[in-house]
Amino acid sequence: MPLRTRPRPLAVVSAGALAATLAGCSTPEPSPGVTDDTVTVGTHTPLTGPAAAGYSSISKAVSAYFDHVNAQGGIHGRTIEYVVKDDGYNPATTQTVVRELVQEDGVFAILNGLGTPTHASVLDYLNENEVPDLFVASGALLWDDPEQHPWTFAFNVDYTTEAKALAQYALDEGGDDAVFCVLGQDDDYGEDFVAGLEAVLGADALAVSETYAVSDQDVTAQVGAMQAAGCTHNFLATVNGFTARTVGTAAQMRYPAQWLASSSGGDYPTLAGYLGEDVAAAVLEGFVSANYLPFSPDSDWVALFREINDEYNGGEPFTGNTVYGMSVAYTFAQALAAAGEDPTRESLVEALESGDVSGNGIMPLAFSADSHRSFGGVGITVVNDGVQDYVGTAFTTDAGDGPVEPYDGAAPAPEDEGVPTT
């Protein structure tokens, strides 16, 4: 009989070990949206619809900044391609265009998707598909949940923090005899903002709490209710169009009040675009808003952004949306640089959670493995003779019932002409 041999386990194990070793040494598969020469990201934003006039210029500013970066060689030798899709501020459309970006355009990440109701409709989809969901253009608390949504990172300061800082400012400026009221959007925006006001002012401190829907064409009833209640200090959780509509309506009703707005609806140049320069100068003098980005006319960031706007943004007006969009683009470029020479979706998230990405706000970003909240506080801006600028100190606080405290730390400064290298 022929001699039958048994299998040789040692040889099989050795081959397996060798295969594992080779796999460990091989270059990881590139992530979608990354080639040798390019990185492609996409966004959903309202280029049409009820929010377009207030926000459509943001994506133009992002694109202009990426053109600036690309003209200097990009990040790690890759230029940044930016795909913009219009969702009309309609959640159903948002779902369609985001799926197109992920499944057809194969983007590396979604960058600065705009709106609370719109982006909430794709939050789970992006995380289930492990797509980096960076710098959401909304201050809702939904974006800071690394356990349930590890791929999502906020950019706007959350509305609760903004409201707490604005409430503290109102108290500090002599609000002992003030009658506090609020007008808010009828979604998480307004609800989170009211929670912040009540955390500082008290649960029963708001004489009137009015709401509006983005489909509304008129806010006369809401303004009338505030006037009838004798409201002296009106907080606004409104988008820019409704801020202008509210303040303009109050002026027509001859109702003077102190207006204090969230950053999402508090950009003076944008409001002046709605109201007209002469009307804005009359009705927005003393207008108060929260913010966290470098808007001061003498800021080095503003000087850089103006140069980029002039060269790459086709003559677009320089507004708060310009600063916002370019700040988003800079922060993404910084994160991409930190993600390494061969970036993956995983290394991009790791870079953000490392704490090495500072951004360009009036205080550094506060991302970590345990928190995807962007900035830990805001400054207060006031309009004086048509110029909107920061006054006093910035404030830091949490999104709960923690104290509101002054911030005296340093702000990141622009380096290397705003093109991150490490």
Residue 282 maps to a domain: yes
Does some domain include residue 14? Answer: no
Tell me, yes or no, whether 51 and 112 share the same domain. yes
Domain count, the chain: 2
pLDDT by residue for the chain (422 residues), tens only, comes to 333 333 333 333 334 443 434 444 455 677 999 999 999 999 999 999 988 887 999 999 999 999 999 999 999 999 999 999 999 999 999 999 999 999 999 999 999 999 989 999 999 999 999 999 999 999 999 999 999 999 999 999 999 999 999 999 999 997 778 999 999 999 989 999 999 999 999 999 999 999 999 889 899 999 999 999 999 999 999 999 999 999 999 999 999 999 999 999 999 999 999 999 999 999 999 999 999 999 898 999 999 999 999 999 998 999 999 999 999 999 999 999 999 999 999 999 999 999 999 999 999 999 999 999 999 999 999 999 999 999 989 999 999 999 999 998 999 999 888 999 87
CATH number, position 235:
3.40.50.2300
**Helix, strand or coil, per DSSP, at residue 168:** helix
The CA distance from 115 to 113, in Å, is 7
Sheet holding 387-396, edge to edge: 206-212, 180-185, 233-237, 258-261, 288-291, 377-384, 387-396, 405-407
Asked if 211 and 244 sit in the same domain, the reply is: yes
Q: Is residue 146 part of a domain?
A: yes
Question: How far, rounded to the nearest angstrom, does the alpha carbon of residue 10 sit from its chain's CA centroid?
Answer: 57
Evaluate whether residue 206 is within a structural domain.
yes
Is residue 31 in a domain?
A: no
| Position 394 in a domain | no
Shared domain check, 284 and 312:
no
Do 133 and 42 share a domain, yes or no? yes
Q: Are strands 180-185 and 133-136 parallel, antiparallel or unpaired?
A: unpaired
Residue 177 exposed, middle or buried by CB count within 10 Å (0-12, 13-18, 19+):
exposed
Give the domain extent around 324: 38-157+295-375
Q: Are residues 196 and 255 in the same domain?
A: yes
DSSP assignment string, 66-90: HHHHHHTT-BTTBEEEEEEEE-TT-
Does this model's pTM top 0.75?
yes
Among the candidates 252, 271, 291, a domain finishes at 291
For residue 174, what pLDDT is reported? 79
* Partners of 225 in beta bridges: none
* 181 and 258, same domain (yes or no): yes
The whole-angstrom separation of Cα 134 and Cα 114 is: 11
Look at residue 408 and tell me if it is in a domain: no
Which string of b and e fits 274-292 if b means at least 16 CB within 10 Å? bbeeebbeebbeebbbbbb
Domain-ending residue, one of 260, 291, 322: 291
Q: For residues 421 and 48, what is the distance between their CA atoms, to the nearest angstrom?
A: 36
Task: Look at residues 262, 291, 320 and tell me which one is the last residue of a structural domain.
Answer: 291
Measured CA to CA in angstroms, residue 224 lies from 92, 184, 283, 332 at distances of 34, 15, 17, 43
Quick one: tokens of 391?
């006054």
Partner residues linked to 133 by β-bridges? 110, 152
Q: Are residues 48 and 152 in the same domain?
A: yes
Judgement on whether residues 273 and 316 belong to the same structural domain of the protein: no
What is the DSSP pairing of strand 387-396 with strand 405-407? antiparallel
Q: Are residue 173 and residue 273 in the same domain, yes or no? A: yes
pLDDT for res 179: 96
Q: Same structural domain for residues 230 and 302?
A: no
One domain for residues 286 and 165? yes
Residue for token pair 């060689």: 73
CB atoms within 10 A of CB 342: 14
- The answer to whether residues 133 and 123 touch, using CB atoms and an 8 Å cutoff, is yes
Same domain for 127 and 44, yes or no, is: yes
